């Protein structure tokens, strides 16, 4: 089937049937803590393919014929559509291939489409519980959240994880599901959109079907869609995303002052908080002002010491714009410039300011240059190739790419997603050892992670994450007891 023909085919199918086959296939790729293992995932309709199918299904209004995905012929038709989505190549990628930019563009759209939904659910719960409950003298995130969404964040997590658990374990009794929606109606209404409103919203950023595969889809923000007085949940694998990072985007959208406060007050404090959870560090210092030549300057956000090694972090609350997925030159250049500016800032602190203008540690140590590392920590990665960022940063810094200084820039300064830092800390990794291994292996300088094969080993988790798991178990046990009281399941003894 040709990709362009998908809307014509889906217009013949009943909306409820389209939503149902999405849901069935979405269930098959879910696990209790995220998606199923990669080797099993490859044998299924992939999440981003299902999301594209769901988008086509929602936007093909005024269906006729009312075909259903019920018999073998129509099930085959569903997989034909999935195959057409899988094989589709974005026109901009074709253009990029002809102009030797394919690797740059492909990594961006692939990363934005695929990587975030593969993150561990428990890590995300820990992060957003902290962020949405943060309060200090300058910002009250809990108050802001309640004002925006009408309920405390805990209610969203309870609904999200309960749905995730039920669908991941294919325990979707209609009566239990309806009871859950009724119990958390105050939360569901904040995650629900009417079909026509969804289409109108989506059309603001996806103007034609060439954008459907890689473009942003509002199912991430509104997992529930209503049509003719029926509520559908076509993509349950997105529910945890909807109650974590999507809520932060919605909370700060159009509110520049809150976004700025969030980056400065909340995100910095969270990074400082999780760094202090690690047993691998000797000292962790937060950002502070200092005087230099009569003027006030500030250090980087977080400064970590272990022995005679130092790791300096600068957090950035920037997230990829929805339009970045369309690979327009303006958005690509703007995002790249912001990343380069951040790298340049970290580099200059490492080589010009740290130990010269300021020294944040109690232990008086003279750090060797090769033992001083730095990183830009992004709330959400935009997946630009690191080598491209470093080469442009070198241009700004007027560093020859054949020089030792360029080697230092590439080996000692990193651009990492916040999730990468969380993984290393929550799994009790030896971060300085990982930094040294990366430094000594030129082939890994431009990798997106410092971890290799971490999914293949048994995870050691810090007690804070284990506590999240226990708390979620308590939520599920309470819900099960409640179902027993309501007579929806056999009452436990």
SS (H, E, C) 467-484: HHHHHHHHHHHHHHHHHH
- State residue 97's pLDDT score: 81
Average pLDDT over residues 38-47: 92
Which tokens is 197 given? 């409103």
pLDDT tens digits for 318-365? 999 888 998 888 999 999 999 999 999 999 999 999 999 999 999 999
- State residue 453's pLDDT score: 61
Query: The whole model's pTM is what?
Result: 0.95
Which of 144, 206, 208, 154 is closest to 184 using CA atoms?
A: 154
pLDDT tens digits for 228-253? 999 999 999 999 999 999 999 999 99
Pairing of strands 302-306, 295-298: unpaired
pLDDT tens digits for 359-384? 999 999 999 999 999 999 999 999 99
Average pLDDT over residues 437-466: 84
pLDDT tens digits for 120-157? 999 999 999 999 999 999 999 999 999 999 999 999 99
Place of tokens 């890994």: 444
Average pLDDT over residues 163-173: 93
Running DSSP on this structure, what letter comes out for residue 451?
-
Residue 66 CA to residue 276 CA, distance in Å, equals 58
- 91 pLDDT band, cuts 50/70/90, is confident
Residue 281 CA to residue 284 CA, distance in Å, equals 7
- State residue 323's pLDDT score: 87
**In the chain, what is the greatest distance between 2 CA atoms, to the nearest angstrom?**
78
Burial of 442 (0-12, 13-18, 19+ CB in 10 A): exposed
E strand intervals along 20-79: 30-31, 34-35
Q: Does residue 90 surpass a pLDDT of 90?
A: no
- State residue 328's pLDDT score: 87
Q: Kindly report the backbone phi and psi dihedral angles of residue 374, in degrees, each rounded to the nearest multiple of 5, phi listed first.
A: -145, 160
- What CATH architecture applies to the domain 258-456? 3-Layer(aba) Sandwich (3.40)
Pairing of strands 230-232, 289-292: unpaired
Q: What is the number of residues in the chain?
A: 493
Cα 99-100-106 angle, rounded to 5 deg: 105
- State residue 490's pLDDT score: 84
Lowest mean pLDDT among 76-80, 107-111, 270-274, 438-442: 107-111
- 456 pLDDT band, cuts 50/70/90, is very low
Average pLDDT over residues 21-34: 96
- The distance in angstroms from the start CA to the end CA of the chain is 55
Question: What Å distances lie between residue 448 and 188, 254, 275, 324, 418, CA to CA?
Answer: 36, 30, 20, 19, 11
SS3 42: coil
Place of tokens 């974005």: 90
SS3 227: strand
Contacts of 50 (CB under 8 A, 6+ apart): 22, 25, 26, 29, 82, 235, 237
- State residue 402's pLDDT score: 97
Q: Does residue 49 surpass a pLDDT of 70?
A: yes
SS3 386: helix
E strand intervals along 111-191: none
Residue 201 CA to residue 193 CA, distance in Å, equals 10
Every domain of the chain with CATH number 3.40.1350.10 lies at 258-456
**Burial track 159-176 (b if 16+ CB lie within 10 A, e otherwise):** bbbbbbbbbbeeeeeeeb
Residue 153 CA to residue 140 CA, distance in Å, equals 13
pLDDT tens digits for 29-40? 999 999 999 889
Running DSSP on this structure, what letter comes out for residue 358?
B
Average pLDDT over residues 274-297: 95
Residue 121 CA to residue 241 CA, distance in Å, equals 9
């Amino acid at each position: 089937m040709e990709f362009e023909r998908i809307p014509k085919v889906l217009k013949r199918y009943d909306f409820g049937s389209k939503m149902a086959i999405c849901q069935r296939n979405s269930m098959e790729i879910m696990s209790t803590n995220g998606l199923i293992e990669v080797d099993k995932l490859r044998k299924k309709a992939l999440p981003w393919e299902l999301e594209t199918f769901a988008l086509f299904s929602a936007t093909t209004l005024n269906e006729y014929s009312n075909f259903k995905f019920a018999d073998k012929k129509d099930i085959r038709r569903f997989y034909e559509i999935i195959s057409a989505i899988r094989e589709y190549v974005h026109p901009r990628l074709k253009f990029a291939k002809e102009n030797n930019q394919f690797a740059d563009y492909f990594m961006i759209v692939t990363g934005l489409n695929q990587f975030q939904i593969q993150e561990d659910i428990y890590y995300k719960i820990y992060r957003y519980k902290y962020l949405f409950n943060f309060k200090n003298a300058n910002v009250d995130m809990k108050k802001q959240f309640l004002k925006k969404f009408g309920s405390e964040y805990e209610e969203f997590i309870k609904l999200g994880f309960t749905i995730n658990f039920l669908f991941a374990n294919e325990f979707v009794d209609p009566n239990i599901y309806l009871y859950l929606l009724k119990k958390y109606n105050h939360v569901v209404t904040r995650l629900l959109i009417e079909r026509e409103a969804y289409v109108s919203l989506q059309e603001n950023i996806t103007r034609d079907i060439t954008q459907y595969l890689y473009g942003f889809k509002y199912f991430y923000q509104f997992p529930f869609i209503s049509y003719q007085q029926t509520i559908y949940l076509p993509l349950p694998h997105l529910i945890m995303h909807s109650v974590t990072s999507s809520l932060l985007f919605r909370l700060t959208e159009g509110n520049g002052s809150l976004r700025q406060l969030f980056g400065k007050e909340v995100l910095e404090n969270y990074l400082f908080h999780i760094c202090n959870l690690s047993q691998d560090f000797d000292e962790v210092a937060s950002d502070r002002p200092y005087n230099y030549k009569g003027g006030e300057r500030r250090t980087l956000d977080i400064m970590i010491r272990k022995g005679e090694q130092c790791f300096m972090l600068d957090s950035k609350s920037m997230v990829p714009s929805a339009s970045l997925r369309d690979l327009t030159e303006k958005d690509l250049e703007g995002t790249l410039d912001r990343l380069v500016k951040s790298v340049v800032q970290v580099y200059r602190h490492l080589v010009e300011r740290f130990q010269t203008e300021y020294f944040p540690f109690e232990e008086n140590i003279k750090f060797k240059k090769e033992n001083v590392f730095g990183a830009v920590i992004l709330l959400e990665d935009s997946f630009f190739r690191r080598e491209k960022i470093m080469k442009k940063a070198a241009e700004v810094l007027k560093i020859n790419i054949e020089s030792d200084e360029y080697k230092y820039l590439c080996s000692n300064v990193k651009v990492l997603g916040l999730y990468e830092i969380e993984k290393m800390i929550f799994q009790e990794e030896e971060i300085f050892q990982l930094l040294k291994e990366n430094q000594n292996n030129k082939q890994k300088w431009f990798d997106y992670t410092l971890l290799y094969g971490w999914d293949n080993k048994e995870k050691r988790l810090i007690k804070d994450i284990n506590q999240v798991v226990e708390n979620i178990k308590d939520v599920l046990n309470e819900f099960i007891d409640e179902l027993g009281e309501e007579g929806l399941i056999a009452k436990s003894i």
